[in-house]
Amino acid sequence: MKLDKLKFNELLYYIHEDHYKNYLMLKLIYVYGRNASEIFNLQVKDVNVTMDNVTFNIPTGTVTYPLTQDTRDDLIGYIYDQELTDEDYIFRKETEAMEIVIKKLNYYLDRTVESLNKTIEFNCEKLTTKDFKILRGQHLFLDGATLHIIHDLYKNSNIQSTKKNIDYNNLLELKFPCNSLDKIFHEFTDFNLYNDNRFDDTDIFTVGDESENIIIELDYVEQTINLISEENQLTNKIEEIPPNQLCMMLRGMDTGNFRLINGLRFIKN
């Protein structure tokens, strides 16, 4: 698997800030498990605001999926801003060749990953639009979705194709890593682990969303979240995340790094 969900969210966050149109296209590829060509073939009339669904043309016909509120708002806002009509393609001009627009999007991905590898040590190999579809299935499987649910999303001709798409056999090792248990226990009980200066009892984080920030202290021993800033609208969002989950996901981070969790950006102070 090229990217886990945390690193994938970091990539999407960067693209969202850098190039909104590309972000929206890649988001649709990921959410609906579609090919890039099917996203570029979307027309305004395929987005049904009344029924809150979107219809894609696929090799075997058409397939319709529900729109989440977030995706609906993104699409409608983009269509409105671009002043598109029902017959317009949403993400390309009618005269643009499909292979050219896909090539441009893959080129953007290539440059973005290369830049992140240099600036924040993203440590990711080359990504293409096909990987976004693959990652959707892999993330779903590792989150507990059955192979049949992923197959129904992809709409492949047979379930063996779905297995091949998501590299099913290797994913099983990630989901059930029994062979590596001895190594895990050995590293966990290594005395040097407790002398690592990255593993303090508490850490301070700045937590933010699009509207504001709040400062918290995370206590790894007691597994509690202590609010340092005065309470604001982020307080409830933070308290909805189990403290033990935050401890597991944030412990050991270097100063200045960040993680996206439940839509909130945690920056290590």
Q: Left (φ > 0), alpha (ψ -120 to 50) or beta: where does 27 sit?
A: alpha
Q: Is residue 250 part of a domain?
A: yes
Identify whether the C-beta of residue 132 lies closer than 8 Å to the C-beta of residue 35. Answer: no
* Lowest mean pLDDT, pick from 110-119, 144-153, 167-176, 187-196: 187-196
Give a yes or no: residue 179 inside a domain: no
User: Based on the domain organization, do 127 and 16 belong to the same domain?
Assistant: yes
Q: Are residues 203 and 115 in the same domain?
A: no
Least confident range from 148-152, 184-188, 199-203, 253-257: namely 184-188
- Residue 196 binned pLDDT confidence (cut-offs 50, 70, 90): very low
Query: 168 vs 40, which has greater pLDDT?
Result: 40
CA distance 234 to 263: 11
C-alpha dihedral, 146 to 149 to 152 to 154, nearest 10°: -70
Of 92, 113, 134, the last residue of a domain is: 134
Q: How far apart are CA 103 and CA 96, in angstroms?
A: 12
Residues 206 and 125 in one domain: no
Residue 60 lies in a domain: yes
Number of domains within the chain: 2
Is the domain of 114 the same as that of 204? no
As a whole number of angstroms, the distance between CA 213 and CA 198 comes to 24
Residue 180 lies in a domain: no
Residue ending a domain, among 112, 134, 156, is 134
Give the residue from 229, 234, 202, 197 showing the smallest Cα distance to 218. 202
Distance CA(244)–CA(236), nearest Å, equals: 17
C-alpha–C-alpha distance, residues 176 and 170, integer Å: 10
- Asked, for residue 24, whether it belongs to a domain, the answer is yes
| Alpha-carbon gap, residue 216 to 218, rounded angstroms | 6
Look up the CATH number of the domain holding residue 97.
1.10.443.10
Model confidence at 146, pLDDT cuts 50, 70, 90, reads: confident
Q: Which of 214, 217, 206, 203 is nearest to 254 (CA)?
A: 203
Lowest mean pLDDT segment, chosen from 99-113, 147-161, 231-245 = 231-245
194 pLDDT exceeds 50? no
Amino acid at 212: E
Q: Is residue 167 part of a domain?
A: no
Instruction: Please check the confidence at residue 190 and state whether its pLDDT lies above 50.
Output: no
- The CA distance from 193 to 133, in Å, is 38
Q: What is the pLDDT of residue 17?
A: 92
My answer on whether 116 and 16 are in the same domain is: yes
- Residue 221 and residue 111 share a domain: no
In a domain, 187, yes or no: no
* 127 and 212 share one domain: no
Q: Is residue 185 part of a domain?
A: no
Indicate the pTM of the whole model: 0.66
In terms of residue numbers, what domain contains 258? 196-268
Q: Which of residues 134, 168, 188 is at a domain's end?
A: 134
